Amino acid sequence: MLTAINLGKKVKTGDSSLTILDNVSFELKKGCSLAILGESGSGKTTMLGLLAGLDTPTSGEVLIDGKSIFKLSEEERAELRKNNLGFVFQSFQLIEGLTALENVMMPLELKGDKDAKQKAKEMLEKVGLGKRFQHTANQLSGGEQQRVAIARAFVTQPALLLADEPTGNLDTATGEKIIELMFSLNSELGTTLVLVTHDIHLAGRCDESLTLSAGKMMSKSSAEESEVA
């Protein structure tokens, strides 16, 4: 489903260059989950941006369903994201003036889905917000806002979902509920899931994990290997 091949990213800093990612490679099968671990500044968020085609690498490539995304035009990559990718952000990224229902409807409406309202209602029911349809973002708690963000990400049933520190702004108890919700929907819908996190517990829930340090991939393991260890 998702393959990174010798992925590298450098940025110019004056007369020199800074390596953010250095020849990272991995492969993730359809329906599986991957945690990307590492300290702040290790390249995790840059990696996520490259996997989504939101940023371009200095070297290497990313394949989604066998298709090299950086051989596509900007418009083609945008179309790929619209049709195949979902996103969950640490800061929720809800549109404040819109209700929970309107936020979840938005990606469906962008795709021209005539059943957007009904599908959005059903997804909000799944995440336990059936009574909060008409509440705007500022009328919801942090955990509720993240539930709306997850509903919005999953409502189009994306082939690939990318999440950047999805529990980072939540207390422990709420974060646990969000983790359970994400993996429940992941299993139900068969979505391939990539999580950027510093949370070892969350990473342990994933089928595979890789650790970055100063842009280099230091280790990669699977749940089976962890159980054997």
Q: Which domains does the chain have, with CATH numbers?
A: 10-228 (3.40.50.300)
Give CA angle at 95 (41, 199), nearest 5°.
Answer: 30
Percent with pLDDT over 70 in the chain: 97
Is it the case that residue 134 has pLDDT exceeding 90? yes
Q: What is the pTM of this model?
A: 0.84
Task: pLDDT band for 180, please (50, 70, 90 cuts).
Answer: confident
* Mean pLDDT of the region 7-26: 91
User: Quick one: DSSP state of residue 228?
Assistant: H
Task: pLDDT band for 189, please (50, 70, 90 cuts).
Answer: confident
180: Cβ contacts below 8 Å, ≥ 6 apart: none
Work out the end-to-end distance of the chain between its first and last CA atoms, rounded to an integer number of angstroms: 27
| Predicted local distance difference test score (pLDDT) of residue 225 | 57
Is it the case that residue 68 has pLDDT exceeding 90? yes
For residue 18, the cross-strand partners are 11
| Predicted local distance difference test score (pLDDT) of residue 218 | 87
207: Cβ contacts below 8 Å, ≥ 6 apart: 32, 33, 34, 222, 223
Task: pLDDT band for 13, please (50, 70, 90 cuts).
Answer: confident
83: Cβ contacts below 8 Å, ≥ 6 apart: 111, 156
Rounded to the nearest integer, the mean pLDDT of the chain is 89
| Predicted local distance difference test score (pLDDT) of residue 186 | 83
102: Cβ contacts below 8 Å, ≥ 6 apart: 95
> Model confidence over 195-221: pLDDT tens digits?
998 888 888 889 999 999 989 998 777
Task: pLDDT band for 224, please (50, 70, 90 cuts).
Answer: low
Helix (H) or strand (E) holding 18: strand 16-28
73: Cβ contacts below 8 Å, ≥ 6 apart: none
Is it the case that residue 223 has pLDDT exceeding 70? no
Is it the case that residue 80 has pLDDT exceeding 70? yes
168: Cβ contacts below 8 Å, ≥ 6 apart: 90, 197, 198
Please state, in angstroms and rounded to a whole number, the distance separating the CA atoms of residues 35 and 157: 20
Percent with pLDDT over 90 in the chain: 51
Under a CB-based contact definition with an 8 Å cutoff, are residues 35 and 60 in contact? no
Please state, in angstroms and rounded to a whole number, the distance separating the CA atoms of residues 14 and 130: 53
